[in-house]
Chain A
Amino acid sequence: MGLIKNIKSYSEGIQISADKKEILTSFLLNGFPTTKDEEWKYTSLKKVITNDYSIENKGEIIDSSIIEKYSLGFKNKIIFSDGKLINTPTIKGVSITGFSEFESATTDSILQLNKALSQNGFTISVDKNTVVENPIEILFFLTTENSFCQYRNQISIGENSEVKFVERIQNLNNSSSFINHFTQTNCAKNTKVEFNKIQNNTAESQLIDTVNVYQDQDSTCNINTLIFGGSFTRNNLNFEQNGSNCESNMNGVSVLNDNQLADNHTFVDHKSAHCRSNEMYKGVYLGHSKGVFNGKIMVRPNAQKIDAFQSNNNLLLSDNSSIDSKPQLEIYADDVKCSHGCTIGQLDDDALFYMRSRGIGIEEAKAVLTYAFASEAIENISVEQVKTLAKNLLAQKLNVDLDFSL
């Protein structure tokens, strides 16, 4: 039948408002993006959407041992089971509730679908002048087989506040799943926010994760993306800098094997003067995996004194892996410093030889070099537990025991 038909029959059975209906009609008319769409040129959704999915999900109770297994051990946990919010922590100065309606851009059909039909997600608002000491951990569990689940989250951070998030989506069975995840974040003046996305789901999991960040002056927003698992992962990170002295940082590490596909799309819209953005994406590709990177930096007229830096480095370590990279600069102001660099290559033979001649096995030598390659981006993560997890997952994926203390 395919997902579109699942969505059609699901939507016929529920009541939605007139404007949502309009958006849904528009989605059904356009359908999912195809490779003819410039933003989806290298990433085909065809296989993802031909499967059948169940849209109404049960939301089973999750055993605490399972939560423990996938948690990084933070005190403050928000837990979802199949879209249902089953646990919210109490944090001073932070209000955490379930799904609520909010206005958002519907720039592509994925966001249209999310806006029209999503009923799940969280709403977080952080008061002014609040520093949340411990990171807030958000766990999304899937228990239903072959489920299609949509999340729609909104975060508002009050002036001068600071908060960190650690997000993880976990399928608890081995069936195929598809998640359309959307988070809208509003950063008020002088706020600091960090997102850590751990994307290490089961082999048949598919994810489209869109984050729209709207930044006011003096705010800093960091998003770290770690892609290790899942068969299909597409990340859309969109930053809009609406005040001066904003900073947007992105770090990404993808280590893929088998038939995995990871697509990182980033867009930084520099609308105000005196702002900065930094992007560092590292990809390691094994097996038949495929990587896609599309980084766009836009500097609007009059947004002078912008420093924008973007780098995308890739290691192709197997015969059948491939990478498509498209770094873009669109600059309409003259007093800026913008650069992007992209490299695609292999491990240095000389370095490998050097290590082997000193008694380090080929696999370990490769792992050490690969680790060194990826660590530049991992080191930018400020949450220790996430950093350690990233290192462990990297070693696991490379099939070695990295002995030195990481």
Chain B
Amino acid sequence: MQNGHIFTFAGQAMIARPSGALFWPAEELLVVSDLHLGKSERISRRGGALLPPYEVQDTLTRLEADIAATLPRAVICLGDSFDDMVAVTALDPDHANWIANLTAGRDWTWVTGNHDPAPTGLGGHAADVVTCGPVTFRHIAIDGTSPEISGHYHPKARLRVRGHAVSRPCFLRDDMRLILPAYGTYTGGMRTSDRALGQLMAANARAILAGLPMVEIPMPR
């Protein structure tokens, strides 16, 4: 459980990791969503607060740790990897090199998101949609009938424990959909009780809470 919660999706064994990353052992595939790199830079650029400028470093440090732990053949970043396109060019050169080193020697895909629609030029390649075996990967879930893995919503779930509530980013899954939590350090969340998620997910949907201990619960509505 320290290394993740194992479950079956589309007939395949998958591991939800405490960090919010997904690992598919049979394909040696690591999936992360909504890194939102460059968020503090974008906020300052738009005249907002000057937040601690360390979130790229923190997000990449965690990603590097997940890669070191799972040694993936392929990596998919499920969209909104950058907070916007300007954030890509504004990236600190050290961080750009760091990303290039991570992508080197791996089949690395940047799925386009609503924040970063164009390819990024940091190693790897861009795509709107990726398929792998029976599974389709895209940024935003669509009303589909085949197994699909997506991000975008930043789901988080609340669990009441003896008088107080624990709120954590979570994976959501039903028979056809798997939605990943936001991986980036500077990201908030949308409660699973939100109507958008309620309409999207089937009645038997479950939430896997990221962080430790990892537990699975019926998706709180």
A binds B: no
Q: Which B residues have a C-beta under 8 Å from some C-beta of A?
A: none
Q: Which A residues have a C-beta under 8 Å from some C-beta of B?
A: none
